[in-house]
Amino acid sequence: MSRRRQRRQYRSTDPFIDLLFNALLGFTFLFLVSVMFMNPDARKGRINLKAEYIISVTWADYLSDDIDLWVQDPIGDTVSYLRKDAGWLHLDRDDRGEVNDTIIIDGKEVVYPINQEVVTIRGIIPGEYTVNLYYYAAADPLPVQALVKVEKVNPTLQTVYVRKVALPQQDDEQTVVRFTLDNTGAIEAINQLPKRLTPYALDAGG
């Protein structure tokens, strides 16, 4: 009899405890999900990069063509493969096309076919920045197509300028974009007026 009584007692509280427990489980689950979405580090694809702007040029994978990115800041400091750090500008790598895409690991050739150069602006100097491309070495007589992107890093990564550029022949230099930053780092003005950044002597014959 006592056993039956115990069972009856348990059954009488069962629906209420079940309801409480399920509600608690539900709230806990919702809380965990919201914490996951509130935590910015859990967001997919987040880049923890200490920079204000990223300027990149990419051209087709596996090409042997060598394109160089030249960037000048408002006080006249210029980065390129000749000088990878200038003021608050930094070039991460001189990509020379296929030439430096192959490395040897354990005696085997491993190819990283991506053709890309990246310049970061690590601190804001108000004024005009100039972004140029120079076609350093052409692998074939066809024009090479390049894609230039300017991305603002803070407060969230945002593409502020994109342009496809065709470089017709070796030794061509083109101004892709000139943009002016205000003292908060926001873009005030944009133009594409040509400005030479390379020190190479101009070919007298044109």
Q: Name the residues that contact Ca ion, by CB under 5 A.
A: 66, 68, 94-95
User: Least distance (Å) from Ca ion to the CB of residue 105?
Assistant: 23
Q: Which is nearer to Ca ion, 84 or 122 (CB)?
A: 84
User: Least distance (Å) from Ca ion to the CB of residue 126?
Assistant: 29
Q: Which is nearer to Ca ion, 81 or 161 (CB)?
A: 81
Q: d(Cα 172, Cα 156) in Å, to the nearest integer?
A: 35
Residue nearest to Ca ion (CB): 68
What type of residue is 170? Q
What are the C-alpha distances in Å from 124 to residues 51, 54, 73, 149?
9, 12, 10, 18
CB–CB of 117/94 below 8 Å?
yes
Q: Which is nearer to Ca ion, 14 or 92 (CB)?
A: 92
Q: Which is nearer to Ca ion, 51 or 91 (CB)?
A: 91
User: Least distance (Å) from Ca ion to the CB of residue 204?
Assistant: 25
Give the side-chain half-sphere CA count within 13 A for 190.
10
